[in-house]
């Protein structure tokens, strides 16, 4: 039996309809759609409202181009993009795999570079039109021309994104540059610490100055930094480890002739939650805890497990890399079966995996310190 192919990753919750731009799916978060509706109403209010609405919508167009910059450079390295999601505070490009440090460096630089090119183009056009750029009016947002304002907005976007606060682009550049010297895991730890420290400073500054948008962005940066360091730790703990090292080998099975009552008794008698249903050596299906409880409620205890079990279960091979198996396990409601040529060897459960990772983390502390001293 073939291991199940990776399921497409779920989209960010709350993102609405999707359009395709240069082959990249672009989604709009519902809060972004609310903002766009608000801007349209503001635009109908009068000339100054219209100008403000055009300004904000143009900047969102530039944010989309910024994210496309990331996506297109990633594509050059053979990395696809799941989706770009636009939020009211900016965009996110979700790549299909994590880039290597050298790739990440260029992918991260591409976004702010797009904003610099746009700003240069707009200022160049303004200069060609009026023969001189009135720099004062470019940065005094109210008095400048709309094109000048959009150019200044792009310069701000580039500068803000290049702040060395992980997970912003500048933080990614910092992480990638450090990773080439001290390894990805330690580089992420340093960049994430810098990101959190920066987020706290930014949040405090926002609170003191009453700029709540800044507080909101700071919160986003803080969460992103914490999430990314957890993801990299998870990868470091699972990469190069075979599934068989983390699987449960001592487990109970149900026969295809067993009743739901038998299954419920086994659920109570053991700490196991999901039971493979077998006939001799052959695996017929998997009866997960939630499926079992549903069958008990709907059919009563006298039904047969063969009628209630899932025939569509996740199969892993014992030699598969744990880093590849974790997303497959995360996508299932129950456990995954570890099988070798149709033979059931073990179960990979979420509870056991969590314990395995905890033990491995404790075991990994020492070698890492020695490595740091040797380096």
Interface ranges with Zn ion (CB under 5 A)? 111, 169
Tokens of 352: 């056991």
Q: Residue 111 or 171: which CB sits closer to Zn ion?
A: 111
Residue positions counted in the chain: 375
250 vs 115: CA distance, rounded Å: 57
Parallel, antiparallel or unpaired: strands 315-316 and 336-340: parallel
Q: Residue 169 or 258: which CB sits closer to Zn ion?
A: 169
The answer for 204, left when phi > 0, alpha when psi is -120 to 50, beta otherwise, is alpha
For the bound state, the minimum distance from the C-beta of residue 128 to Zn ion, rounded and expressed in Å, comes to 29
26 vs 72: CA distance, rounded Å: 13
* Contacts of 289 by beta carbon, 8 Å cutoff, 6+ apart: 267, 273, 274, 334
353 vs 128: CA distance, rounded Å: 63
Q: Residue 171 or 288: which CB sits closer to Zn ion?
A: 171
The answer to whether the bond into 229 is cis (omega within 30° of 0) is no
For the bound state, the minimum distance from the C-beta of residue 256 to Zn ion, rounded and expressed in Å, comes to 54
Q: Residue 169 or 184: which CB sits closer to Zn ion?
A: 169
For the bound state, the minimum distance from the C-beta of residue 273 to Zn ion, rounded and expressed in Å, comes to 41
Q: What is the per-residue burial (b if ≥16 Cβ within 10 Å, else e) of 218-243?
A: bebbbebbbebbeebbebbbbeebbb
Q: Residue 69 or 206: which CB sits closer to Zn ion?
A: 69
* Dihedral sign for Cα atoms in the order 292, 296, 298, 301: positive
For the bound state, the minimum distance from the C-beta of residue 355 to Zn ion, rounded and expressed in Å, comes to 37
For the bound state, the minimum distance from the C-beta of residue 89 to Zn ion, rounded and expressed in Å, comes to 13
Helix (H, G, I), strand (E, B) or coil at 246: coil
Q: Residue 104 or 169: which CB sits closer to Zn ion?
A: 169
Residue nearest Zn ion by beta-carbon distance: 111
Instruction: Please report where in the chains the tokens 């167009």 appear, as a residue.
Output: 61
For the bound state, the minimum distance from the C-beta of residue 81 to Zn ion, rounded and expressed in Å, comes to 12
For the bound state, the minimum distance from the C-beta of residue 183 to Zn ion, rounded and expressed in Å, comes to 24
- 280 phi and psi, to 5 degrees? 65, -125
């Amino acid at each position: 039996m073939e291991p199940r192919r990776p399921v497409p990753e779920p989209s960010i919750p709350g993102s609405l309809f999707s359009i395709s731009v240069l082959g990249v799916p672009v989604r709009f978060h519902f809060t972004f759609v609310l903002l766009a509706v608000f801007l349209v109403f503001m635009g109908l209010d009068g000339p100054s409202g219209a100008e403000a609405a055009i300004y904000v919508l143009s900047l969102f167009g530039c944010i989309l181009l910024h994210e496309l910059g990331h996506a297109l450079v990633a594509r050059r390295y053979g990395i696809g993009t799941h989706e770009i999601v636009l939020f009211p505070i900016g965009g996110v490009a979700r790549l299909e795999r994590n880039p290597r440090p050298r790739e990440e460096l260029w992918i991260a630089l591409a976004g702010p570079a797009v904003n610099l090119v746009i700003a240069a183009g707009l200022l160049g056009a303004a200069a060609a039109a009026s023969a001189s750029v009135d720099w004062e009016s470019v940065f005094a947002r109210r008095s400048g021309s709309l094109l000048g304002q959009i150019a200044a907005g792009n310069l701000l976007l580039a500068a803000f994104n290049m702040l060395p606060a992980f997970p912003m682009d500048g933080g990614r550049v910092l992480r990638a540059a450090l990773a080439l010297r001290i390894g990805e895991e330690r580089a992420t730890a340093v960049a994430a610490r810098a990101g959190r420290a920066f987020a706290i400073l930014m949040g405090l500054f926002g609170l003191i100055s009453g700029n709540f948008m800044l507080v909101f962005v700071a919160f986003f940066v803080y969460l992103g930094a914490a999430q990314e360091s957890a993801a990299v730790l998870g990868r470091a703990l699972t990469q190069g480890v075979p599934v068989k090292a983390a699987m449960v080998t001592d487990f109970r099975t149900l026969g295809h002739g067993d009743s739901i009552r038998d299954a419920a008794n086994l659920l109570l008698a053991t700490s196991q939650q999901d039971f493979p249903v077998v006939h001799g050596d052959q695996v017929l299906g998997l009866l997960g805890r939630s499926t079992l409880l549903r069958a008990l409620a709907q059919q009563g205890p006298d039904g047969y497990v063969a009628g209630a079990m899932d025939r569509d279960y996740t199969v892993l091979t014992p030699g598969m890399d744990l880093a590849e198996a974790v997303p497959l396990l995360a996508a299932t409601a129950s456990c995954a079966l570890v099988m070798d040529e149709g033979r059931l060897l073990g179960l990979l459960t979420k509870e056991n995996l969590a314990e395995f990772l905890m033990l491995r983390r404790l075991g990994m502390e020492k070698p890492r310190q020695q490595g740091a001293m040797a380096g």
